[in-house]
């Protein structure tokens, strides 16, 4: 069974750093892109970026470029999302998800499956 | 950047057919994917590449895409179908989500 398991909920203060994780199992971790998606309280889904663990190629949404860092350690099948200085506005649920891609005439990509989510709360 | 437009809410009577739309410029030329998100849960893929159902998704869920509108159709709606639904496309190597639609089953 393909599965993504995320690290637990975090409570942090503004200005602190944080790194959350997403561990894949049941498939070849290095052969699929992994994406991160933010969901602020009561709001919709926002794509943050994707990483290809095979070579660490990373793409960011323009909205999140420079705000977060996405990385991966293929030796332990784990992707990461990190902040160097959190803000209250980073309070949200964060999901990782495996990206399936079809090229050529198809040229499309979709997320399946998703991790269970990591709730990040930033408050003084 | 490419934008997707969804109605904020759709209501359907129990056992009837619900249709949730996703609008975008010439969206018919792209592949559209749909996710269901129930309260307190992670999203789940229900339709990929316009009209394909992942294993485990009931046949009641179907999708179509043409012109400027893609549609997710839920037949014989059940109380358990109450959820938020999001459409998504891949555009210029970016993931784009619609704003989401809340489906209420009356």
Distance from CA of A74 to the nearest CA of B (A): 23
* Distance in angstroms (rounded) separating the CA atoms of residues A35 and A49: 6
Report the percentage of chain A scoring pLDDT > 70. 100
Distance from CA of B62 to the nearest CA of A (A): 17
Query: Is residue A106 within 8 Å of residue B49, measured between CB atoms?
Result: yes
pLDDT band at B74 (very low <50, low <70, confident <90, very high): very high
3-state secondary structure of B55: coil
Query: Is residue A42 within 8 Å of residue A57, measured between CB atoms?
Result: no
Q: H-type helices in A14-107, by residue range?
A: none
Using one digit for the tens of pLDDT, what is the confidence trace for A91-114? 999 999 999 998 888 889 999 999
User: Torsion over CA of A3, A91, A57 and A116, rounded to 10 degrees?
Assistant: 0
Residues 6 or more apart whose Cβ sits within 8 Å of residue A119: A9, A10, A92, A93, A94
Mutation target vs A (from B95, B96, B98, B101; most A CBs, 10 A cutoff): B95
Average pLDDT of chain B to the nearest whole number: 97
Neighbouring CB atoms inside 10 A of B37's CB total: 20
What is the rounded average pLDDT of the residues A8-25? 98
pLDDT beyond 90 at A28: yes
pLDDT number for residue B17:
98
Query: Is residue A50 within 8 Å of residue A64, measured between CB atoms?
Result: no
End-to-end alpha carbon distance in chain A: 40
pLDDT number for residue A106:
81
Residues 6 or more apart whose Cβ sits within 8 Å of residue A15: A85, A86
Residue B4 tokens read as 């997707």
What is the rounded average pLDDT of the residues A19-45? 98
Using one digit for the tens of pLDDT, what is the confidence trace for A56-93? 999 999 999 999 999 999 999 999 999 999 999 999 99
pLDDT number for residue A105:
80
- Closest residue on chain A to B42 (Cα): A116
Residue B46 tokens read as 């229900």
Query: Is residue A94 within 8 Å of residue A116, measured between CB atoms?
Result: no
pLDDT number for residue A107:
86
* Distance in angstroms (rounded) separating the CA atoms of residues B48 and B92: 18
pLDDT beyond 90 at A8: yes
* Distance in angstroms (rounded) separating the CA atoms of residues B95 and A46: 9
Query: Is residue A38 within 8 Å of residue A120, measured between CB atoms?
Result: no
Mutation target vs A (from B20, B29, B37, B42; most A CBs, 10 A cutoff): B42
Using one digit for the tens of pLDDT, what is the confidence trace for B22-73? 999 999 999 999 999 999 999 999 999 999 999 999 999 999 999 999 999 9
pLDDT band at B86 (very low <50, low <70, confident <90, very high): very high
């Amino acid at each position: 069974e393909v599965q993504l398991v995320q690290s637990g909920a975090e409570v942090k203060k503004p200005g602190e750093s944080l790194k959350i994780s997403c561990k894949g199992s049941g498939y070849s971790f290095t052969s699929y892109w992994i994406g991160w998606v933010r969901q602020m309280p009561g709001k919709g889904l926002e794509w943050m970026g994707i990483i290809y663990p095979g070579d660490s190629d990373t793409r960011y949404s323009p909205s999140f470029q420079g705000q977060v860092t996405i990385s991966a350690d293929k030796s332990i099948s784990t992707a990461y999302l990190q902040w160097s200085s959190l803000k209250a506005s980073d309070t949200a649920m964060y999901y990782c998800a495996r990206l399936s891609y079809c090229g050529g005439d198809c040229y499309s990509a979709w997320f399946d499956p998703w991790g269970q989510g990591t709730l990040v709360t930033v408050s003084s | 950047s490419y934008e997707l437009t969804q109605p904020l809410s759709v209501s359907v009577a129990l056992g009837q057919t619900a249709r949730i739309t996703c609008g975008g410029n010439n969206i018919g030329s792209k592949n559209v994917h749909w996710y269901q998100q129930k309260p307190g849960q992670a999203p789940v893929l229900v339709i990929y590449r316009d009209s394909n159902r992942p294993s485990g998704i009931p046949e009641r869920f179907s999708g179509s895409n043409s012109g400027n509108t893609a549609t997710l159709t839920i037949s014989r709606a059940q109380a358990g179908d109450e959820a938020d639904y999001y459409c998504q496309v891949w555009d210029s190597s970016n993931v784009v989500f619609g704003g989401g639609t809340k489906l209420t089953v009356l």
